Amino acid sequence: MSYHSRLRGYANTTGQMKTILPLIYLLGAGYLLSLGLLYFLQRNILYQPVASSADIPREAISIANEGLKLHGWRLNKGQSKALIYFGGNAETISDNIILFESMFQDYTVYLINYRGYGNSEGSPGEAELFSDALAIYDRIQDWHSSTSLFGRSLGSGVAVYLSTQRQIEQLILLTPYDSIANVGQSHYPLFPVKYLIKDRFDSLKYAPEIAIPVLIVTAELDRVIPIKHSEALRDQLINTSVVYRMISGAAHNNITDFPEYREAIERFIEAPK
Protein backbone atom coordinates (compact mmCIF):
# COMPACT_ATOMS: atom_id res chain seq x y z
CA MET A 1 0.00 0.00 0.00
CA SER A 2 1.37 3.38 -1.00
CA TYR A 3 1.95 6.23 1.39
CA HIS A 4 -0.95 8.16 -0.11
CA SER A 5 -3.27 5.16 0.23
CA ARG A 6 -2.34 4.77 3.90
CA LEU A 7 -2.89 8.46 4.42
CA ARG A 8 -6.34 8.30 2.86
CA GLY A 9 -7.19 5.27 5.04
CA TYR A 10 -6.09 7.11 8.16
CA ALA A 11 -8.13 10.13 7.16
CA ASN A 12 -11.19 7.97 6.60
CA THR A 13 -10.77 6.28 10.00
CA THR A 14 -10.30 9.62 11.69
CA GLY A 15 -13.41 10.94 9.99
CA GLN A 16 -15.41 7.92 11.10
CA MET A 17 -14.22 8.33 14.68
CA LYS A 18 -15.20 11.98 14.63
CA THR A 19 -18.66 10.85 13.58
CA ILE A 20 -18.93 7.97 16.06
CA LEU A 21 -17.48 9.62 19.17
CA PRO A 22 -20.24 12.23 19.53
CA LEU A 23 -22.77 9.42 19.22
CA ILE A 24 -20.99 7.44 21.94
CA TYR A 25 -20.89 10.51 24.18
CA LEU A 26 -24.57 11.14 23.52
CA LEU A 27 -25.51 7.55 24.32
CA GLY A 28 -23.39 7.65 27.46
CA ALA A 29 -24.96 10.89 28.60
CA GLY A 30 -28.42 9.49 27.90
CA TYR A 31 -27.64 6.37 29.92
CA LEU A 32 -26.35 8.37 32.88
CA LEU A 33 -29.36 10.67 32.72
CA SER A 34 -31.73 7.70 32.66
CA LEU A 35 -29.84 6.11 35.54
CA GLY A 36 -30.10 9.30 37.56
CA LEU A 37 -33.80 9.66 36.88
CA LEU A 38 -34.39 6.03 37.83
CA TYR A 39 -32.53 6.53 41.10
CA PHE A 40 -34.15 9.79 42.15
CA LEU A 41 -37.66 8.81 41.01
CA GLN A 42 -37.60 5.24 42.26
CA ARG A 43 -40.06 5.86 45.07
CA ASN A 44 -42.45 7.59 42.67
CA ILE A 45 -42.32 4.43 40.57
CA LEU A 46 -42.70 2.04 43.49
CA TYR A 47 -45.36 3.92 45.45
CA GLN A 48 -48.36 5.25 43.57
CA PRO A 49 -50.79 6.50 46.23
CA VAL A 50 -54.47 6.69 45.39
CA ALA A 51 -57.06 8.89 47.05
CA SER A 52 -59.56 7.26 49.35
CA SER A 53 -63.07 6.68 48.09
CA ALA A 54 -65.48 9.12 49.65
CA ASP A 55 -68.42 8.21 51.87
CA ILE A 56 -67.76 4.50 52.29
CA PRO A 57 -70.55 3.21 54.53
CA ARG A 58 -68.32 1.06 56.70
CA GLU A 59 -66.72 1.52 60.11
CA ALA A 60 -63.67 3.74 59.75
CA ILE A 61 -60.69 3.12 61.99
CA SER A 62 -57.62 5.23 62.74
CA ILE A 63 -54.32 3.90 64.06
CA ALA A 64 -51.54 6.18 65.31
CA ASN A 65 -47.85 5.52 64.79
CA GLU A 66 -44.83 7.79 65.06
CA GLY A 67 -47.03 10.86 65.36
CA LEU A 68 -49.04 10.04 62.24
CA LYS A 69 -52.55 8.71 61.73
CA LEU A 70 -53.25 5.77 59.46
CA HIS A 71 -56.77 5.52 58.11
CA GLY A 72 -58.74 2.47 57.09
CA TRP A 73 -61.78 0.30 57.73
CA ARG A 74 -62.79 -2.54 60.01
CA LEU A 75 -65.08 -5.17 58.50
CA ASN A 76 -67.10 -7.88 60.26
CA LYS A 77 -66.49 -6.36 63.68
CA GLY A 78 -66.72 -8.67 66.67
CA GLN A 79 -65.16 -11.82 65.26
CA SER A 80 -62.66 -13.69 67.40
CA LYS A 81 -60.17 -14.04 64.56
CA ALA A 82 -58.59 -11.08 62.76
CA LEU A 83 -57.10 -10.64 59.30
CA ILE A 84 -54.91 -7.69 58.29
CA TYR A 85 -54.68 -6.86 54.59
CA PHE A 86 -51.69 -5.16 52.96
CA GLY A 87 -52.48 -4.04 49.42
CA GLY A 88 -50.65 -3.37 46.18
CA ASN A 89 -48.63 -0.28 45.33
CA ALA A 90 -51.43 1.40 43.38
CA GLU A 91 -54.44 -0.31 44.90
CA THR A 92 -57.58 1.29 46.28
CA ILE A 93 -57.96 -1.10 49.18
CA SER A 94 -61.58 -0.15 49.78
CA ASP A 95 -62.41 -1.89 46.49
CA ASN A 96 -62.04 -5.15 48.43
CA ILE A 97 -64.69 -4.37 51.03
CA ILE A 98 -67.68 -6.23 49.61
CA LEU A 99 -65.67 -9.29 48.58
CA PHE A 100 -63.75 -9.52 51.85
CA GLU A 101 -66.90 -9.21 53.97
CA SER A 102 -68.17 -12.31 52.21
CA MET A 103 -64.92 -14.22 51.79
CA PHE A 104 -63.73 -13.73 55.38
CA GLN A 105 -67.03 -13.95 57.25
CA ASP A 106 -65.38 -15.51 60.29
CA TYR A 107 -62.73 -12.79 60.52
CA THR A 108 -62.69 -9.17 61.50
CA VAL A 109 -60.81 -7.68 58.56
CA TYR A 110 -58.59 -4.61 58.80
CA LEU A 111 -57.98 -2.60 55.64
CA ILE A 112 -55.49 0.11 56.59
CA ASN A 113 -54.04 2.48 54.00
CA TYR A 114 -50.28 2.85 53.79
CA ARG A 115 -48.75 6.20 54.68
CA GLY A 116 -49.62 8.69 51.98
CA TYR A 117 -52.42 6.50 50.63
CA GLY A 118 -56.08 7.35 51.03
CA ASN A 119 -56.48 9.51 54.11
CA SER A 120 -53.37 8.19 55.86
CA GLU A 121 -50.75 10.76 56.75
CA GLY A 122 -47.05 10.73 55.91
CA SER A 123 -45.02 9.33 53.03
CA PRO A 124 -44.39 5.66 52.27
CA GLY A 125 -41.07 3.86 52.54
CA GLU A 126 -39.95 0.35 53.46
CA ALA A 127 -39.00 1.14 57.05
CA GLU A 128 -42.17 3.19 57.49
CA LEU A 129 -44.46 0.45 56.16
CA PHE A 130 -42.78 -2.12 58.37
CA SER A 131 -43.15 0.12 61.41
CA ASP A 132 -46.80 0.76 60.63
CA ALA A 133 -47.48 -2.96 60.20
CA LEU A 134 -46.15 -3.60 63.69
CA ALA A 135 -48.26 -0.75 65.07
CA ILE A 136 -51.41 -2.08 63.42
CA TYR A 137 -50.85 -5.55 64.84
CA ASP A 138 -50.04 -4.23 68.31
CA ARG A 139 -53.16 -2.08 68.30
CA ILE A 140 -55.58 -4.89 67.43
CA GLN A 141 -54.02 -8.01 68.92
CA ASP A 142 -55.74 -7.69 72.30
CA TRP A 143 -59.13 -7.67 70.58
CA HIS A 144 -58.72 -11.06 68.92
CA SER A 145 -57.69 -14.62 69.68
CA SER A 146 -55.55 -14.91 66.54
CA THR A 147 -54.38 -12.82 63.60
CA SER A 148 -53.83 -13.84 59.98
CA LEU A 149 -52.14 -11.77 57.26
CA PHE A 150 -52.98 -11.22 53.60
CA GLY A 151 -50.46 -9.40 51.41
CA ARG A 152 -50.89 -8.57 47.74
CA SER A 153 -48.03 -7.59 45.43
CA LEU A 154 -46.11 -4.84 47.27
CA GLY A 155 -48.00 -5.76 50.44
CA SER A 156 -46.69 -9.32 50.33
CA GLY A 157 -43.32 -8.05 51.52
CA VAL A 158 -44.95 -6.22 54.43
CA ALA A 159 -46.92 -9.32 55.39
CA VAL A 160 -43.83 -11.54 55.15
CA TYR A 161 -41.91 -9.19 57.43
CA LEU A 162 -44.70 -8.92 60.00
CA SER A 163 -45.13 -12.69 60.08
CA THR A 164 -41.56 -12.99 61.38
CA GLN A 165 -41.99 -10.32 64.05
CA ARG A 166 -45.30 -11.22 65.68
CA GLN A 167 -47.44 -14.26 66.43
CA ILE A 168 -49.40 -14.94 63.25
CA GLU A 169 -51.80 -17.81 62.51
CA GLN A 170 -51.45 -18.05 58.73
CA LEU A 171 -50.16 -16.09 55.75
CA ILE A 172 -51.82 -15.46 52.38
CA LEU A 173 -49.64 -14.03 49.60
CA LEU A 174 -51.11 -12.90 46.28
CA THR A 175 -48.61 -12.35 43.44
CA PRO A 176 -45.67 -12.04 45.86
CA TYR A 177 -42.01 -11.44 45.06
CA ASP A 178 -38.64 -12.58 46.30
CA SER A 179 -37.45 -8.99 46.61
CA ILE A 180 -38.36 -5.66 45.04
CA ALA A 181 -34.69 -5.32 44.12
CA ASN A 182 -34.85 -8.49 42.02
CA VAL A 183 -38.14 -7.51 40.40
CA GLY A 184 -36.75 -4.08 39.58
CA GLN A 185 -33.67 -5.66 38.02
CA SER A 186 -35.93 -7.78 35.81
CA HIS A 187 -37.77 -4.69 34.60
CA TYR A 188 -34.63 -2.60 34.02
CA PRO A 189 -31.93 -5.10 33.00
CA LEU A 190 -29.60 -2.44 31.57
CA PHE A 191 -29.29 -0.65 34.91
CA PRO A 192 -27.72 -1.83 38.22
CA VAL A 193 -31.07 -1.62 40.00
CA LYS A 194 -30.15 -4.20 42.63
CA TYR A 195 -27.41 -1.91 43.91
CA LEU A 196 -29.26 1.39 43.67
CA ILE A 197 -32.69 0.60 45.07
CA LYS A 198 -33.49 2.09 48.46
CA ASP A 199 -36.53 0.02 49.49
CA ARG A 200 -35.48 -3.55 48.86
CA PHE A 201 -38.34 -5.44 50.54
CA ASP A 202 -36.15 -8.54 50.73
CA SER A 203 -38.70 -11.26 51.44
CA LEU A 204 -36.10 -13.93 50.66
CA LYS A 205 -34.22 -12.87 53.77
CA TYR A 206 -37.22 -13.45 56.01
CA ALA A 207 -38.67 -16.53 54.30
CA PRO A 208 -36.66 -19.18 56.21
CA GLU A 209 -37.91 -17.72 59.50
CA ILE A 210 -41.55 -18.36 58.65
CA ALA A 211 -43.03 -21.41 60.36
CA ILE A 212 -46.76 -20.90 59.81
CA PRO A 213 -48.97 -22.18 56.96
CA VAL A 214 -48.57 -20.15 53.77
CA LEU A 215 -50.75 -19.82 50.67
CA ILE A 216 -49.17 -18.37 47.52
CA VAL A 217 -51.44 -17.48 44.59
CA THR A 218 -49.86 -16.34 41.33
CA ALA A 219 -51.06 -15.23 37.90
CA GLU A 220 -49.90 -17.16 34.85
CA LEU A 221 -49.60 -14.02 32.71
CA ASP A 222 -48.12 -11.74 35.35
CA ARG A 223 -45.81 -9.21 33.71
CA VAL A 224 -45.48 -6.97 36.78
CA ILE A 225 -44.13 -9.64 39.13
CA PRO A 226 -43.14 -12.55 36.89
CA ILE A 227 -43.89 -15.94 38.40
CA LYS A 228 -40.19 -16.77 38.74
CA HIS A 229 -39.99 -14.23 41.58
CA SER A 230 -42.94 -15.82 43.40
CA GLU A 231 -41.46 -19.27 42.95
CA ALA A 232 -38.09 -18.10 44.25
CA LEU A 233 -39.84 -16.97 47.43
CA ARG A 234 -41.75 -20.24 47.66
CA ASP A 235 -38.53 -22.22 47.41
CA GLN A 236 -37.08 -20.33 50.39
CA LEU A 237 -40.04 -21.14 52.64
CA ILE A 238 -38.17 -24.16 53.89
CA ASN A 239 -39.55 -24.37 57.43
CA THR A 240 -43.27 -24.44 56.76
CA SER A 241 -45.97 -25.98 54.59
CA VAL A 242 -46.80 -24.02 51.45
CA VAL A 243 -49.89 -24.27 49.28
CA TYR A 244 -49.06 -22.93 45.82
CA ARG A 245 -51.72 -22.08 43.25
CA MET A 246 -51.12 -20.59 39.81
CA ILE A 247 -54.25 -19.26 38.08
CA SER A 248 -54.21 -19.93 34.35
CA GLY A 249 -55.03 -17.00 32.10
CA ALA A 250 -54.80 -14.46 34.92
CA ALA A 251 -52.61 -11.35 34.85
CA HIS A 252 -51.28 -9.25 37.71
CA ASN A 253 -54.14 -6.76 37.84
CA ASN A 254 -57.12 -8.98 37.01
CA ILE A 255 -56.33 -12.06 39.07
CA THR A 256 -59.06 -11.21 41.59
CA ASP A 257 -61.66 -11.45 38.81
CA PHE A 258 -61.08 -15.19 38.50
CA PRO A 259 -63.22 -17.52 40.65
CA GLU A 260 -60.13 -19.64 41.31
CA TYR A 261 -58.72 -16.75 43.36
CA ARG A 262 -61.52 -16.89 45.89
CA GLU A 263 -61.67 -20.68 45.82
CA ALA A 264 -57.98 -20.99 46.64
CA ILE A 265 -58.20 -18.64 49.60
CA GLU A 266 -61.39 -20.10 51.04
CA ARG A 267 -60.03 -23.63 50.75
CA PHE A 268 -56.86 -22.56 52.52
CA ILE A 269 -58.46 -20.74 55.45
CA GLU A 270 -61.00 -23.53 55.97
CA ALA A 271 -58.42 -26.33 55.92
CA PRO A 272 -57.33 -27.85 59.25
CA LYS A 273 -54.03 -26.39 60.43
Q: What is the mean pLDDT of the chain?
A: 92
pLDDT tens string 35-45: 888 889 999 99
Query: Can you tell me the distance from the alpha carbon of 75 to that of 128, in angstroms, rounded to the nearest whole number?
Result: 24
Let me know: does 248 contact 220? Beta carbons within 8 Å.
Answer: yes
Q: How confident is the model at residue 247 (pLDDT cuts 50, 70, 90)?
A: very high
What's the pLDDT tens digit per position in 52-102?
A: 766 789 999 999 999 999 999 999 999 999 999 999 999 999 999 999 999
210-239: pLDDT as tens digits? 999 999 999 999 999 999 999 999 999 999
Domain ranges of the chain: 42-270
In this prediction, residue 50 has a pLDDT band, given cuts at 50, 70 and 90, of confident
For residues 23 and 199, what is the distance between their CA atoms, to the nearest angstrom? 35
For the domain made up of 42-270, the CATH class stated in words is alpha beta
| Positions of E strands within the chain | 59-65, 68-75, 81-86, 107-112, 146-152, 171-174, 214-219, 242-247
